[in-house]
Amino acid sequence: MTARFAAISFVASETPEAEAALEKLVARYGNADCDSADVIVALGGDGLMLQTLHRFIGTGKPIYGMNRGSVGFLMNEFRERGLTKRLEAAHRSIVHPLSMLAIDENGREYRAKAINEVSLLRRSYQAAKLRLSVDGQVRLEELISDGILLATPAGSTAYNLSANGPILPLDAPLLALTPIAAFRPRRWRGALLPDQAQVMIEVLEAPKRPVSAMADHIQIDNVVSVAIAIDRSIDLVMLHDPGHSLDERILREQFGY
């Protein structure tokens, strides 16, 4: 029987640990061209996993990460031997990215995808003033804060968790809208939104209180409005070893281990 993942393509971060792992794995398994590969194996940390998912977005290629970085929430344990068998036994986690449309102070439009979150952050010593709308209805007339973010379940354990946002199970049909250092309303802790929600964030007093928008690692400065919605037309496939699926890791994170 032909293996599902006969052709493996490796990518690695530019660290000594990752490059050493790349050399050993290529010598053992070869290195297929990424366009013809059945699977992409990423060697690094969560940053590389996000970069790799963005690089192959829309291709449907599964990504299997092995941790050779400082943070490895999205990664599997690194082992040189038995990779083919691990790939065959791996479980699939499918996530959908957020689609961001940002408009800057000059009226220019920028589109980007985010796998973890779309965040808005103040650019000066003054707090940002933001108006929040969901599905065309204003829900918060004015939020004064350092910023705000909208996270997917896959991204809920990243920046969202650091900002005291909720952890979402991977299959939860929800998005986490989380303020960053909210000043007014002081007790507002954010909201859980259905994942079909259309979110609009308008920047009030933009020239005086400039704001940047970020879709994962893509940054747009001096925005005046940002529209965000989940893009169900794109499936991003991550592979994880049995017992270490992304669902299991998110569950473990909620219990502190």
Q: The domain spanning residue 147 has which CATH number?
A: 2.60.200.30
Print pLDDT tens along the chain (257 aa): 346 888 999 999 999 999 999 999 999 999 999 999 999 999 999 999 999 999 999 899 999 999 998 777 889 999 999 999 999 999 998 999 999 999 999 999 999 999 999 999 999 999 999 999 999 999 999 999 999 999 999 899 899 999 999 999 888 899 999 999 999 998 899 999 999 999 999 999 999 999 999 999 999 999 999 999 999 999 999 999 997 777 787 777 778 66
202 and 248 both lie in a single domain: no
Structural domain harbouring 80: 8-95+234-254
pLDDT digits (tens, 9 = 90+) for 93-145: 899 999 999 999 999 999 999 999 999 999 999 999 999 999 999 999 999 99
- With respect to residue 37, please indicate whether it lies within any of the assigned structural domains: yes
169 and 69 both lie in a single domain: no
**What count of other Cβ atoms lies within 10 Å of the Cβ of residue 60?**
10
- With respect to residue 3, please indicate whether it lies within any of the assigned structural domains: no
112 and 212 both lie in a single domain: yes
CA distance 162 to 103: 27
118 and 198 both lie in a single domain: yes
Domain count, the chain: 2
Whether 46 is catalytic: yes
137 and 89 both lie in a single domain: no
51 and 119 both lie in a single domain: no
- Give the model's pLDDT for residue 232: 94
Q: In this structure, are residues 74 and 43 in contact, taking their beta carbons and an 8 Å threshold?
A: no
Q: In this structure, are residues 83 and 90 in contact, taking their beta carbons and an 8 Å threshold?
A: no
Picking from 92, 86, 90, 84, the residue whose alpha carbon sits closest to that of residue 5 is 84
- Give the model's pLDDT for residue 3: 65
186 and 241 both lie in a single domain: no
215 and 120 both lie in a single domain: yes
58 and 78 both lie in a single domain: yes
Which is catalytic among the residues 33, 35, 38, 46? 46
20 and 133 both lie in a single domain: no
Q: Say whether the peptide bond before residue 194 is cis (omega within 30 degrees of 0).
A: no
Q: What is the pTM of this model?
A: 0.89
242 and 211 both lie in a single domain: no
49 and 167 both lie in a single domain: no
